Amino acid sequence: MISIEITPIEYILSIIAGLIVGFSLGLIGGGGSILAVPLLLYFVGLGYLYPQGTPQSNEIDHLVIGTTALAVGLNAYINSFMHFKKGDVKVKQGILFTVPGIVGSFIGASLGLLVHGSSLLFFFGILMIVVAVLMWRNKGKPARPVDDVMKEIESSCKIRYDRILPTGFAVGLLSGFFGIGGGFLIVPGLIFSAGLCMLRAVGTSLIAVGTFGVVSAIRYTMAGEISVLISLLYLAGGVAGGYLGTKVATSIPRGMLRKIFAIIIILVAIYLMYQNIGGLFKII
């Protein structure tokens, strides 16, 4: 376990970073939390505490992943409550998807801890680019009448246990490995395996996002690779940012916002990969 001294300015920057993540989530929905890791590394500055390639730098990389996993997970739980009040959370489907994912996320986090931090971050950068491409291709259209029809008929759709259980495990595995919420995978996974409409898939996905994040954080805590205080500061900023983001989102075209953020994510991903290019030669 590495011991780090966080200055007051870094605590303030942690709140601001959480604000940015929450604001982006409020603006564009899924995908915004992908910025949590690079912001903590290079905006708050934890990635600059030790030279790249040193054992301390490797531990910092893992600490950042564990810390942001907890913050994103707790934030998802808060958001799921708001969706639940609107009736957009299908608890049974959410639990069926999440339970095998708990096993997957614990295994994934355990595997992630075995991988060198810079390698994990380099491949995380590749994942960011994938998310950005998906975000760019998403037209960001508001709910259509067909979605309302789906709400009425989805109760007649049978849950495909042969799909929902392995899909939940696989998504949990990936989520735990990278320390991400995985909402961009969970939403289509729920549509595919549980026959949910988009609105309810988004609301229900937050059960899994929250649980996968917390389980990953627990595994990182067992390894001593987490800062609970920074997670809580991130969470505080994220809640405030999410509120502001949802207010601003109503006045700006959603499609344009998603494309702007897709470009930002790609630029951040390139920088992340550049900083961790040595990780290609240090897998474990």
pLDDT of res. 156: 47
What is the C-alpha separation between 152 and 146, in angstroms, rounded? Answer: 10
Residue 168 has a pLDDT of 94
Which of 2-6, 147-151, 157-161, 172-176 ranks highest by mean pLDDT? 172-176
Q: Say if residues 223 and 117 touch (Cβ distance below 8 Å).
A: no
In a domain? residue 3: no
One DSSP character per residue, the chain reads -------HHHHHHHHHHHHHHHHHHHHH-TTGGGGHHHIIIIIS-GGGSS-TTSHHHHHHHHHHHHHHHHHHHHHHHHHHHHHHHTT---HHHHHHHHHHHHHHHHHHHHHHHHS-HHHHHHHHHHHHHHHHHHHHH---PPPPHHHHHHHHHGGGSPP-HHHHHHHHHHHHHHHHHHT---HHHHHHHHHHHH---HHHHHHHHHHHHHHHHHHHHHHHHHTT---HHHHHHHHHHHHHHHHHHHHHHTTS-HHHHHHHHHHHHHHHHHHHHHHTGGGGG---
Q: What is the mean pLDDT of residues 186-198?
A: 84
Residue 2: inside a domain: no
Give how many domains the chain has, as a whole number.
1
| Residue 249 covered by a domain | yes
* Residue 1 is assigned to a structural domain of this protein: no
Does residue 210 sit within a domain? Answer: yes
The first and second tokens of residue 165, run together, are 């259980």
The length of the chain is 284
Q: Express each pLDDT in 151-162 by its tens digit.
A: 544 554 567 888
The predicted model scores a pTM of 0.85
* Arithmetic mean of pLDDT, 24-31: 71
Name, of 39-43, 53-57, 75-79, 142-146, the range with top average pLDDT. 39-43
Calculate mean pLDDT across residues 203-211. 91
**Owning domain of residue 15:** 8-281
Question: pLDDT confidence of 284, banded at 50, 70, 90?
Answer: low
